[in-house]
Amino acid sequence: MTARDTDWDGVRLHVVTGKGGTGKTTVAAALALALAHAGRKVLLIEAEGRQGIARLFDRPPLPYEERKIAIGPGEANDGRDPGGDVYALAIDPEGALLDYLQMFYGMRSAGVALNKLGMVDFATTIAPGLADVLVTGKATEATRRKQPGSASGFTYDAVVLDAPPTGRVGRFLNVSAEVSGLAKVGPVRTHADTVANVIKSPQTAVHFVCTLEEMPVQETLDGIAEIRSVPGMQVGGIVVNMSRPAVLSRQELKAPPDLAAMAAALGSAGLYDTGPLAAALAEEISEHARYIELADRERSELEATGQPIYELPLIAEGIDLAALHKLAAELRDQGAA
């Protein structure tokens, strides 16, 4: 196995959150691909039942079952790094409750009946943190699961959790405090404590996905502050997604373009109607300059947190499997995996 330092070497559970619309699921999937190399096995978990992972990997909807969906890239073409495997699991609270009842009490059939009656709704309402603790419980269980004979001793070398959006992630992860408000004793409380032991440990990191716009950046800063306020919890990296390339240098963007010279250049390249075209392009440059200026400002706010920042390009053609691999390679090159 090739040894290679990454920013998150000790981390086995990667929680990925972000504001809606920033591409959280895409980044989680790319991170899972990036981690799957050198024979490593990675589990990618979707916590919110949108089947976004299945769509990204162009697969039919995922059942409540861990199944292999992709092969990670090898490091080199000489066969020394055979790549790795990405498994995926879509979790819903119902499935997680049945799983829990079966695992701890052997009560699956009672659970099925509960579910039919809408009892899961009932149970999760009585204890609002219950659904969360069941979902995070499944993720931590997969993280801790042992497999004798594997290189690491664990079934999965890493688990990537596509978590709820930034606004809710603190509550989602700080499960034990939430449940304890209602269930002071009993098995759920014990379960919540076990989950918290994994989440509030150095083997878990919470990564934030955002775009370089005001609201997503503000939410990211708020989210980071929230995670930092919980003792034991670790903030991971910030993934700036859909970043648009700065085609021109900051200097070039500042200077007002010489329209006549531009028009002449356009003419020499064989284009027509060069006067209006130069004016339109100049307007596009100045809009781009405004965008870059804003993005720089937002980036420096993110840098002030001191967390590692990874920047992924906007893929104008849309996200397909090839694009996911490209993003995964970016994450690896920048040291995120």
Distances (CA, A) of 295 to 4, 17, 140, 292, 300: 32, 20, 36, 5, 9
182 near another protein, judged by CB under 8 A: yes
Distances (CA, A) of 20 to 69, 172, 299, 319: 24, 16, 19, 16
19 near another protein, judged by CB under 8 A: yes
121 near another protein, judged by CB under 8 A: yes
61 near another protein, judged by CB under 8 A: no
Q: Which residue has the tokens 């934030």?
A: 208
110 near another protein, judged by CB under 8 A: yes
Strand order across the beta sheet in which 41-46 lies? 67-71, 85-90, 41-46, 158-162, 13-18, 204-210, 235-243, 309-313
| # chain residues binding another protein, by CB under 8 A | 74
| Segment near another protein (CB under 8 A); pick from 70-78, 211-219, 225-233, 300-308 | 211-219
Q: Smallest distance from the beta carbon of 49 to another protein, in angstroms?
A: 8
Tokens of 278: 């130069």
236 near another protein, judged by CB under 8 A: no
Cβ contact 173:204 at 8 Å:
no
Within 38-57, the residues that bind another protein by CB under 8 A are 48, 50, 52
Could you please report the per-residue DSSP string of 214-264?
A: HHHHHHHHHHHHHHHTSTT--EEEEEEEEEPP--S-HHHHHSPP-HHHHHH
Closest to another protein by CB, 309 or 315: 315
- Exactly one of 71, 264, 321, 322 binds another protein (CB under 8 A); that residue is 264
Name the nearest CA neighbour of 301 among 182, 214, 209, 237: 214
269 near another protein, judged by CB under 8 A: yes
- Exactly one of 255, 296, 321, 322 binds another protein (CB under 8 A); that residue is 255
- Exactly one of 60, 245, 300, 304 binds another protein (CB under 8 A); that residue is 245
Name the nearest CA neighbour of 253 among 296, 282, 295, 214: 282
215 near another protein, judged by CB under 8 A: yes
| Segment near another protein (CB under 8 A); pick from 37-45, 65-73, 155-163, 249-257 | 249-257
Residue 26 has a CB neighbour count (10 Å cut-off) of 25
Within 183-202, the residues that bind another protein by CB under 8 A are 183-189
241 near another protein, judged by CB under 8 A: no
Closest to another protein by CB, 107 or 329: 107
- Exactly one of 262, 324, 328, 331 binds another protein (CB under 8 A); that residue is 262
Quick one: how far is CA 324 from the chain centroid?
12
Closest to another protein by CB, 80 or 297: 297
- Exactly one of 270, 300, 304, 306 binds another protein (CB under 8 A); that residue is 270
How far apart are alpha carbons 102 and 108 in whole angstroms?
Answer: 5
247 near another protein, judged by CB under 8 A: yes
CA quadruple 102, 132, 309, 143: dihedral, nearest 10: -20
Q: Smallest distance from the beta carbon of 251 to another protein, in angstroms?
A: 9
Within 122-181, the residues that bind another protein by CB under 8 A are 122-123, 125-128, 130, 165, 167, 181
Name the nearest CA neighbour of 135 among 156, 120, 117: 120
Could you please report the per-residue DSSP string of 99-127?
A: HHHHHHHS-HHHHHHHHHTTHHHHHHHHS
Within 304-323, the residues that bind another protein by CB under 8 A are 314, 316-318
Closest to another protein by CB, 3 or 185: 185
Closest to another protein by CB, 65 or 258: 258
| HSE-CB of 130 using CA atoms within 13 angstroms | 23
